[in-house]
Structures are given as structure tokens and as C-alpha cells.
Amino acid sequence: MTSDQLHRLLLDNLNTAVLLLNDTLSIDYINPAAEALLQVSIARLRGMPVADVFSDRDIILSALREALESGRPHTRRHEYLRMQGLESSQVDYSITPVELGERQMLLMEMQPIDRFLKINREEALLSVHDTSKSLIRGLAHEIKNPLGGIRGAAQLLGQEINEQCIGGETKELCQIITTETDRLRNLVDRLLGPNHLPQVAALSIHEVTEHVAALIEAEMQGQLRLVRDYDPSIPDIEGDREQLIQAVLNVARNAMQAVMDSVQTDRTIIFRTRVKRSFTIAGQYHRVTCRLDIIDNGPGVSEEIKERIFFPMISGRSEGSGLGLTIAQTAVNSHQGIIECDSESGRTCFSIYLPIKA
């Protein structure tokens, strides 16, 4: 391997976004991490003035000219990118003057700080989720044992009632005990989640979304508008079809209930799919992930529960069980993915991230 090949290999596999700028402050080269950060290919960026990438052109131009003229490195924090179609993104960047032959050039390194903050929040969420899941499993098993005894006693009592031809209120009360015991057992089973490993197979994320969309449309009978905004180029993911359908359906039902409770006349839910590159989930770096956004124009998630929305028994609706999002998060976690929530009045977006295997 030549030194040029080694340098290219190292640059291509860095997680840090690297740009090489010429003396006119235009882009000569970017590595794949920079393409992922800016969501634009090198073919479109080559020759572009680097100032066009940032929100504050004057500040970046001043910093670049100073570094080029003085020959000294320069660092700035918390600058915003402004590429078309790019979500608001905040970065720290450093500039290092370099010489390439007789040419004076600048090496720029960018770190997306908002993504690091998200990673910290995700790790905290997953840690709490794992702790609460272990606690729930312990409590659920402790609850199921006496429930089994209660149901068995109710069945024996029911048999004796039938043998002695006792009817009326006594028989009805015995039936209530059996029914409520079954209801509690089902609730505990839902808390425990799936009792089998995911049946993994290759499938399209749009196969999942279309199944859920059909269920929502059949249930709502035209009372809301469902918009599909798909990226058809997304490769197949590896997953359990039934578990992913259940996860997406739980999130979509939350959105459906939110818009139906709102005062909006144009009640809308959007299913949007995109490819997300260079993404970290639970400390594991993924080159490519599938992102599914479920967006509604309801009233938004209450500030009181926004940070606890995925915890068991937490619900924004008085009649809600508080288990739907917990079950969805558990199913997505079992696929090495994660669900995030971004909510404000009039717009709530639940984003499901799932790794795409090479």
C-alpha cells in the first residue's frame, strides 16, 4: 500500500468531517464524514466557497483569512451550518494552515456538537430504559404468581357454584374475579414484552409503514390525512416484521390520538423515510441507518412528561395505559435501534432509527 492510499484510507474512515480548502477559500476535497454531515456529495461541493456552508459568512471568512495570512491554527465553537435541505446543525471547527507543494491551503475539521449532545441523551435514556425494564420484569414475575393462584381458586369456586346450581350475583362476582385476573395477566405480559427473539429477515421499511398506514386509514375512515414521503432508494433492513409493525403501529396510534384530540381542522400524519449516514446508537457507530419519521400536527407532548415519554405507565391521556411507547422502544432496541421524540405545539415528530447492514 502506497502512502497516498494509506492517507486516503485513513481520511475515508475518520468520523471527523475533514475539508481541504485552497487559497481562494473554496473546497478542494472533503472526506465521507463531511459528506454525511453536510448531506451533499463531493461532486457538488468541490469548488464551492466554504463560506456558503455556514450561516455567518463574515465570521468564517474573517477566521479563514486570518489563519491563511498568519499561518496559525484557529478554532471556533458553536457555529451553525446552513446547507439547503440540512436540518439546523451546530458544529465546532478548527482550521490548520498546510502547504501542498508551493500552494498554501487550509485543513478544516468539523465536529457536530448537537449530535454529541443527542448521543449523551440517548445513552441516558437507554440506561434508564434498561433499569426500568429489569425492575418491571422482576415485579411482573412476582405479580404473575399470586394471579395464577387467584385464577385457580376462582375456577374451583366457579365449578362449585355450577355444581350447587348457585346463580345470580354470586356467579357473576366469580366471573368478574376471573375476567379481571385475566386482564391483569395480559397487562403483565405486555409489560414483559415479546417472549421470543426477533425472527430476523430482510424486509423493506415501506412494507412495514404501508401495513400500518392501511390499518390507520381503515380505522379513521377519512377523518385524518395520511401523507407518505418515502425515499425509495432505502435498502432492505434486517428485522422481525411483526415486532416492527407493532412498534410503528404504537407510535402511529399515539399520533392518531393526538391529532384527533386537537382543534386542527386539517388533521395530518406524515410517514417520512430517509437514509441517515454516520449515526451512533448506544455507543455503536453505524455507517448507514434508516430513519422513519412519524409526524403529526397535534397539540404536542406535555412538558411535564416530555423527558419521561418512553417510561412505563407514563401517558399524556387520562385513558392511556402508558405502555405503547415503552413496548415500541423495547422492540426497536431489540433491533439495535432507537426512537427519539421532538415535540412542540402543532408538530410532534417521533423518529425511529434502524441500522442498515452492509
**For position 124, what pLDDT does the model report?**
66
Query: Which cell numbers hold the place of 152?
Result: 385457580
- Tens of pLDDT, residue by residue over 207-243, are 999 999 999 998 888 888 999 999 999 999 999 998 8
When mean pLDDT is compared over 41-45, 110-114, 203-207, the highest value belongs to 203-207
**For position 92, what pLDDT does the model report?**
86
- Rounded-to-integer distance, Cα 324 and Cα 309, Å: 10
| pLDDT for 321 beyond 60 | no
Q: Give 94's contacts (C-beta < 8 A, 6+ positions apart).
A: 73, 74, 75, 76, 108, 109
- Tens of pLDDT, residue by residue over 20-66, are 999 899 999 998 888 888 878 888 888 999 988 888 888 889 888 88
**Which residue in 349, 42, 338, 321 sits closest to 184, CA to CA?**
321
| CB 108 within 8 Å of CB 93 | yes
91 conformational bin, left if phi > 0, alpha if psi -120 to 50, beta if neither: beta
Average pLDDT of span 86-112: 84
Topology of domain 3-114, per CATH?
A: Beta-Lactamase (3.30.450)
**Residue percentage of the chain with pLDDT more than 90:** 23
**For position 59, what pLDDT does the model report?**
87
**For position 89, what pLDDT does the model report?**
76
- Rounded-to-integer distance, Cα 122 and Cα 17, Å: 22
**For position 205, what pLDDT does the model report?**
95
**For position 265, what pLDDT does the model report?**
78
Domain ranges within the chain, ordered by starting residue: 3-114, 117-192, 201-355
Query: Which cell numbers hold the place of 40?
Result: 451533499
| pLDDT for 123 beyond 80 | no
Q: What is 157-210 written as a DSSP string? A: HHHHHHHTT--THHHHHHHHHHHHHHHHHHHHHHHH--SS----EEE-HHHHHH
Average pLDDT of span 71-77: 87
Rounded (5°) CA angle 136-139-142 = 150
User: Which residues are 225's β-sheet partners?
Assistant: 268
Residue 222 has φ and ψ, to the nearest 5°, of 80, 10
| pLDDT for 191 beyond 80 | no
**For position 6, what pLDDT does the model report?**
80
**For position 213, what pLDDT does the model report?**
93
Average pLDDT of span 89-115: 85
Q: What is the mean pLDDT of the chain?
A: 82
Burial of 187 (0-12, 13-18, 19+ CB in 10 A): middle
pLDDT classification of 182: cutoffs 50, 70, 90: confident
| pLDDT for 174 beyond 70 | yes
Query: Which cell numbers hold the place of 75?
Result: 478554532
**For position 122, what pLDDT does the model report?**
66
**For position 26, what pLDDT does the model report?**
92
- Tens of pLDDT, residue by residue over 326-351, are 888 888 888 888 888 888 888 899 99
Sign of the alpha-carbon dihedral angle for 87, 88, 94, 100: positive
Superfamily of segment(s) 201-355 = Histidine kinase-like ATPase, C-terminal domain (3.30.565.10)
End-to-end distance of the chain based on CA atoms, in angstroms?
25
